[in-house]
Structure 1
Amino acid sequence: MTIQNNLSSRAAENLAGSNVMLEGVIKANANKFDFNENRDGIINLGVAENQLMTAELREIFSKVDTADTKLFGYGESPSGSRLLRSHFANNIFNRYFKPYESVLGEQMVLTAGCSATVDNFTFCVCDPGDGILITTPFYGGFNTDIMAKSKARVIEVHLDGVSPFGLEQIQLMQDAVDNARSEGTRVRAFVLSNPHNPLGRMFAREVIIAFLRFASKNQIHILFDEIYALSVFDYALTGLAKEEQPDSNPFISVLSIPNIEQYCEKELVHVAYGMSKDFCLNGFRCGVLLSPWNTELLDAMRSIAVFTWMSSTTEAMLTKLLSDPIVIEDFTKTNQARLAESYTYTVKTLRDHEIPFKPAQGGHFIWIDLRKFIPSHLISSAQAGERSAEHLVWRAMLKEGVYVNLGEAFSERLVGFFRLSFSVPVPMLELGLKRMITACQRASLSDAEA
């Protein structure tokens, strides 16, 4: 009897699959770089983990008594305390997302991280085998969030040169829905990130409205992942980084669209948010599902919230952080300025080494093109979509002591693209980029037997 015979078919299916992004994360986390204690460790420029605001967070949280005996018991509710949900409503969504209709605390469910939010959302709107539509490239974690437990399917829409920020993609999305349905797959939702992950840009109002109309036409849910909403930094750019910016769209939350019912049934429209990105708290695990017009979905999310209940300590610390609008404003502005500084340094380095990239407006990352470093003997196979060249460059970087996320993890069909996260202090970023370029140059010289 094999081990898999002792497991559920769901678990066996998960074990049979591979997760190249997780493989890199595990290697990077097992040997973390530290200027004082482990200079030979791996500098993590692959995970969207903002390390620019640690001093400010330490100061804010030092005022929370984490040994308060009230925190030793269960919290008020598995879907988040009324006070914390109120702070999210008033001090985040109503203040920064400019909603056309004011957001209320009872319109959201809190979970232990945005991955848990997407997983619970999928569980509540999909049966096993149902499809959720996503255009490529997209955040690779969605694959796990949607498929690992709920056993829904990710339906990838490959745009193949069509802009993910334009209107032409709508027909490709419709074709994907029609094809899935003709094959017997029920399509239940469309998920997108705004600001986009991994491309770091925002959608224009007309495109958001087109997405809404598409959801209405097909009677599917539409989940806007707006977790980078307060990490938009393009207004603070200077010099070459500013000159590189094409015409930019401001961040527009779907919540700010007036009279949304003109375009889509309101109960189909939802927003995911969390504390990992804008507030640099990946390890705290706090996600939000905001569904202002669908009480049935909220009740369904609450029915399983006990499995993704935040710790009482986390809830207390987040309540402290989000209780003061002035603190939030200062924190956000400082974070955006530091993101702009790190992004500017990254752009200059990439330009100095003639590495193409897609200019970003927000988020923690930039989409870079490392195809020029593919060894000559692998160019033909890479152009045909075979991933060994991308893996070669990626593993060369890990060996050199830097982790950068490869395009395969984002379902990018073109071989040789990577997502580079720059949200680390400039001295670490400088060393990490130096290691990356050294590794790429060495990989490009690999001979046919390497």
Structure 2
Amino acid sequence: MANPTENTPPGALSTRMATTVKILNPIADALAARGKISPEEINLADGESSLMKLEMVEICKEAMNNSITTDTFSNPVGFIGDVPMKEALAQYFTTYFHPTIPVTMDNIVPTAGSGNAIDALIFTLCDAGDAVLCPAPWWCKFLLFLSLPFLRPIHIHIDTGGYGPYARVHAEVNVIPAFIKPSPSLSWTTESLSSAIIPALEAAYNSAPDPKRIKAVLTSNPNNPMMNCWPEDVVRQIMDFCQDHNLHYISDEVFANTVFDLEADQFVSALSLLKRPDRHDESVGVKSIIEPTLVHVLWSVTKDFGACGVRAGCVLSYHPLVRAGVSFASVWQVSSLAAHFTRSILTSPSTLDLLSSTRSQLAQSFQTCREILSVPELTDRIQLLHTSVGFWTNAVVMLKESENIQDIIVKAKQKGVIVGWGAEFAPLLQKGQGLIKITFAMPQDVLRKGLERLRASLL
């Protein structure tokens, strides 16, 4: 992809847009490379699930056939969002997120996906030049070393991926990472989701150029990219940290219903840890001290239902002014067809079974990864990290002398399989280590063939 800032007349772009293009252009290169994957290659770097799409097609067709009307094609009424969609979302949160404070449709602002939710919420909470803290590593788009016409590395700094663009492009807000201290062993894989994150947040807060300009803590739970859930007590501690520093707590909970390992820490929504302000709660000792109006939850159909292309999500907040701000900041609302689909999928009699079946398939698929890659001949070459949620696993690769992560990904491609690059983990890795991401949310026969190709490339 040609750099759009090259060979352009002076003044063609505003300073703000020129900066935006500079930030996003490398990511655009990487994403465009996905379209260049040949049919013979197996893509294990998609970051999406294909396990429930056929079922969702049938649910969608039925909804469109039975309940779509001419009103579906009309302009939306005001900024409040599609009412039936909001009612379905409120019921979904009530059923699966176990809120201590009742959730009604009035607490919900629909957005065009979770990315739009993040963008609009940060724009609402922050002024230009403010900052948000984020436990790190945080997620990054699945990146490939496959930009055409030549295979070449794409260097992306951690703060330009994942949450970075959503905070910077419109709100002009900085995202400050809070890393635990890296260790020679792989202990960071568990410590990053432990109480060790609290001193890391304190250190990041105190070392910021102007701590008073930090307005929020942004987390993902279940955690992306670690692909495990935060323990309940740690979620509460982070929320209490926010109360102590008068910060908003933003909880990105898009993977809520994809936890497939029943023996691992289970998903605990921030909504379930709020104290009830209208009554004395004898169990307050296990609730957060945070004021409920400081807590804002993000969700979309992207992960729980593997529907990335639908672009339907929401912000849930108990603060009326925040909801109003998000409504106006996301003025281009959810498509009426996307809203119709979302309501249908959330209220379908098949939803519970669909979610359960998908989790079972995810568990089986991750076991297939371990079966093929955790073998004696690869003991000193690759280590799968513990994964209990989501569509992919992270794998630390022990690099040979003069080898780098680019070589690993190129060798895999030469064997006919595409894997992702875990760029966001770089600050935690030791010399001689690299990290790749391996998507497993796909049919077993395709997954096995792809993993066998990957194994052959590593030998």
* 2:117 is the counterpart of 1:117: yes
Contact 1:4 1:12 in 2 (8 A): no
Question: How high is the TM-score relative to the length of structure 1?
Answer: 0.84
Q: What is the match of residue 128 of structure 1?
A: 128
Structure with higher helix content: 1
SS at match of 1:55: helix
Q: Tell whether 2:87 aligns with 1:86.
A: yes
> How far off its partner does 1:104 sit?
0.7
Q: What is residue 301 of structure 2 aligned with on the other side?
A: 275
Q: Is the alpha carbon distance of 1:410 and 1:6 closer, same or farther for their aligned partners in structure 2, counting shifts above 3 Å?
A: farther
Instruction: Report if the CA contact (8 A) 1:21-1:409 is conserved.
Output: no
In structure 2, do the counterparts of structure 1 residues 4 and 120 end up closer, same or farther at CA, with 3 Å as the change threshold?
farther
Quick one: which of 12, 15, 32 aligns to 2:18?
Answer: 12
Distance (Å, rounded) in 1 between the aligned partners of 2:31 and 2:369: 21
Residue of structure 2 equivalent to 1:432: 450
Partner of 1:331: 354
**Cα pair distance change 1:318/1:431, threshold 3 Å:** same
Determine the C-alpha separation between the residues in 1 that align with 2:125 and 2:84: 28
Aligned 8 A contact 1:133 1:156 in 2: yes
How far apart are the structure 1 equivalents of 2:78 and 2:389? Answer: 33
What one-letter code is carried by the residue in structure 2 that aligns with 1:58? V
Deviations 1:87-108, CA, capped at 9 Å, x for gaps: 1111x11001111122111101
2:198 pairs, out of 160, 163, 170, with 170
- Please give the per-residue CA displacement for 1:55-91, whole angstroms capped at 9, x wherever unaligned: 211211121337853333323455521111111111x
> Quick one: distance in 2 between partners of 1:288 and 1:265?
21
The residue number in structure 2 matching 1:139 is 139
One-letter amino acid of the counterpart of residue 7, structure 1: L
TM-score normalised by the chain length of structure 2: 0.83
1:290 partner SS: strand
Partner AA of 2:102 in structure 1 = S
Residues 66-215 of structure 1 correspond to what in structure 2 (within 5 A)? 68-90=69-91, 92-140=92-140, 141-161=162-182, 162=188, 163-182=191-210, 186-215=213-242
Report the count of equivalent residues: 406
- State the secondary structure of the residue aligned to 2:122: helix
Query: Which sections of structure 2, spanning at least 5 residues, go unmatched?
Result: 1-6, 141-161, 183-187, 278-287
Alignment of 1:381-396 (within 5 A): 389-396=404-411
Q: Distance in 2 between matches of 1:411 and 1:221?
A: 28
Identity %: 24
Deviation at 1:211, TM superposition (A): 0.3
- The whole-number CA distance in structure 2 between the counterparts of 1:4 and 1:398 is 40
CA distance in 2, matches of 1:201, 1:256: 18
Deviations 1:320-354 (A, max 9, x none): 22223x32111111111111111111121121233
Q: CA contact under 8 A between 1:20 and 1:409: conserved in structure 2?
A: no
Alignment-mate amino acid for residue 48 of structure 2: E
Contact 2:215 2:247 in 1 (8 A): yes
Which 4+ residue blocks in structure 1 deviate beyond 6 angstroms?
none
Return 5+ residue gaps in structure 1 as ranges: 236-246, 379-388, 442-450
Cα–Cα, structure 1 residues 395 and 284, in superposed 2: closer, same or farther, change >3 Å? same
Partners of 1:139 and 1:410 within 8 A in 2: no
CA contact (8 A) 1:273 1:287 kept: yes
Provide the residue aligned with 2:51 in structure 1: 52
Q: CA RMSD in A?
A: 2.3
**Equivalents in 2 of 1:436, 1:234: separation in Å?**
24
CA contact (8 A) 1:21 1:405 kept: no
Distance 1:323-1:214 versus aligned 2 partners, 3 A rule: same
Q: How far apart in 2 are the matches of 1:152 and 1:390?
A: 31
Q: Of 27, 30, 37, which aligns to 2:33?
A: 27
Q: SS in structure 2 opposite 1:117? A: helix
Q: What SS does structure 1 have at the residue aligned with 2:314? A: strand
Letter in 2 for 1:157: A
CA distance in structure 1 between the aligned counterparts of 2:406 and 2:270, rounded to whole angstroms:
37
The CA deviation at 1:411 is 5.8
Pair 1:214–1:312, CA change in 2 (3 A): same
Per the alignment, residue 230 of structure 1 pairs with: 257
Q: Distance in 1 between matches of 2:440 and 2:316?
A: 29
